Amino acid sequence: MIKIRDLEKIYRTEEVETVALNKISIDVKEGEFVAIMGPSGCGKSTLLNILGLLDDPDNGSFLFNNIEVANFNERKRADLRKHNIGFVFQSFNLIDELTVFENVELPLIYTGVKSGDRKKRVEEVLDKMQIMHRRNHYPQQLSGGQQQRVAVARAVVNNPKLILADEPTGNLDSSNGNEVMTLLTDLNEQGTTIIMVTHSEHDARYSHRIIRMLDGQTVLENIMV
């Protein structure tokens, strides 16, 4: 599903040049659950952003479902993104002005799903995430675990092939964290590819494979048994 080769990303300020990704190559197959680990600043979030088509690489190749996307413009990237990729963030990133229902509905709006269908699908996914009873609440009224469940609901509502999770349990206590990890595992079992950046060895154990990064490069891959 994902095939990147010799991918480079360099951040430049006036005085400093930081190499975030240094000719990195990774493959991810459809249906895999991959965890990316490494110390702060090793480039894992940059990698995730490029995989999520939120950022573009400076050099190298990125095949997404066998399509070269490294040189896509913003509109094309947005188009590909909204139909294929869901995101889960450490800090949930829900819009405070929208209710639970409306937050989850958002991706459907941008993919042009009709209002009736939207309602059905949002309700389905809220039900699945067991957060239906909170549909009319605002994010501030929810606990962290509930917020992250809403964020996961939002990430999956479009039935994406790929979910990118950036430290999804980082802001949660252990029981809420486990709940979210179970949700992700369930999704993976139903066929969704998951790539997750994490600091937690515990969380990483939920994955099939761990990619360890250092200074913009992969240093080790562990296959989980």
DSSP string for residues in 3-36: EEEEEEEEEE-SS-EEEEEEEEEEEE-TT-EEEE
In 57-120, which ranges are E strands? 59-64, 67-68, 85-89
DSSP 198: -
Q: Is 149 in the site for other proteins (CB under 8 A)?
A: no
With CB under 8 A as the contact rule, the residue among 10, 19, 63, 106 that binds other proteins is 106
Quick one: which of 47, 85, 78 has its CA closest to 163?
A: 85
Quick one: which of 53, 122, 48 has its CA closest to 81?
A: 53
Residue number with CB closer to other proteins (126 or 206): 126
CB of 87 to other proteins, least distance (A): 5
**Residues binding other proteins: what is the number (CB under 8 A)?**
29
Q: Strands of 33-37's sheet, edge to edge?
A: 85-89, 162-166, 193-197, 33-37, 209-214, 217-223
Segment 79 to 98, residues that bind other proteins, using CB under 8 A? 79, 81-83, 87, 89, 91, 93-98
Q: Is 136 in the site for other proteins (CB under 8 A)?
A: no
With CB under 8 A as the contact rule, the residue among 52, 145, 177, 216 that binds other proteins is 52
Segment 159 to 178, residues that bind other proteins, using CB under 8 A? none
Residue number with CB closer to other proteins (134 or 206): 134
Residue number with CB closer to other proteins (102 or 178): 102
Question: Contact, 176 vs 189, CB < 8 A?
Answer: no
Judged by the rule CB under 8 A, the positions of this chain that interact with other proteins are 45, 49, 52, 54-55, 74-75, 78-79, 81-83, 87, 89, 91, 93-98, 102, 105-107, 109-111, 154
